Amino acid sequence: MRIALIGGTGAIGAGLALRWAKDTDHEIVIGSRDPERAREAAADYQQTASEYGSAAKVTGFENAMAADRADVIILAVPPYHIAATIEAIADSLAAGDILVSPAAGLRRDEEGFHSRPPSAGSVTQLAADVAPAAVPVVGAFHNLAAGRLAALDTPLEVDTLVVGDDDEAVRTTMALAAEIDGLRPVYAGGIGVAAEIEGLTAVLINIAESNAEMADLGVRFR
């Protein structure tokens, strides 16, 4: 399968790309608005993964071209860029493709981080509202610390919650998540409950900021 990381030069895109490159033989496609940056990041990730014995192929392209080459497209961009990013790649999406939204809307004040979903209710819902009708949207990978993903020697041993209304898209996304060593996908319901899951990101950051020994924090349900 080919997985595109739109905004794949950013921290969460890099982390997911590195883990999939290390642990699977899926072709990883890095997308960026700047194709040269995408190519450089792809070469960098492939080199890093190869040091862990991986033969995975990582390529880099402008976002729309990256989406065109992939079956599963991860929207690894800030929440306020989700709508514009989907519109920019919409012509590259085909029926059968899957869009995956890992972003969470947060605001910070003097008390800490708070959940601030967009008016659609959640970032995942916003993505679903903007996506072409034939392309299902799944929410996943919200509650992963980018630094921990990128630290390939660090066992993950965490869960990622998955929400979506299209059963096959959910199954495919969960299978891709499960192929990352130490990452367990946990289904949490339809897109209608995505806001609560995105809000967990604020909790994780607040805990990390309150506990020096709990940086790059993840969560496991048990």
Residues making contact with its own copies (CB under 8 A):
109-115, 157-158, 161, 186-190, 192-193, 195-197, 199-200, 202-204, 206-207, 209-211, 214, 217-222
Q: What angle do CA 10, 43, 144 make, to 5 degrees?
A: 35
Minimum distance from residue 10 beta carbon to its own copies (Å): 24
> In this complex, which beta carbon is closest to its own copies, that of residue 94 or of residue 207?
207
Distance, in Å, from the CA atom of 104 to the CA atom of 134, rounded to the nearest integer, reads 24
Minimum distance from residue 187 beta carbon to its own copies (Å): 5
> In this complex, which beta carbon is closest to its own copies, that of residue 47 or of residue 211?
211
Candidates 93, 35, 106, 97; CA nearest to 71 is 97
Per-residue tokens: 78: 């800030």
Query: What is the CB neighbour count within 10 angstroms for residue 218?
Result: 18
> In this complex, which beta carbon is closest to its own copies, that of residue 95 or of residue 212?
212
Minimum distance from residue 36 beta carbon to its own copies (Å): 38
Distance, in Å, from the CA atom of 63 to the CA atom of 85, rounded to the nearest integer, reads 8
Minimum distance from residue 92 beta carbon to its own copies (Å): 30
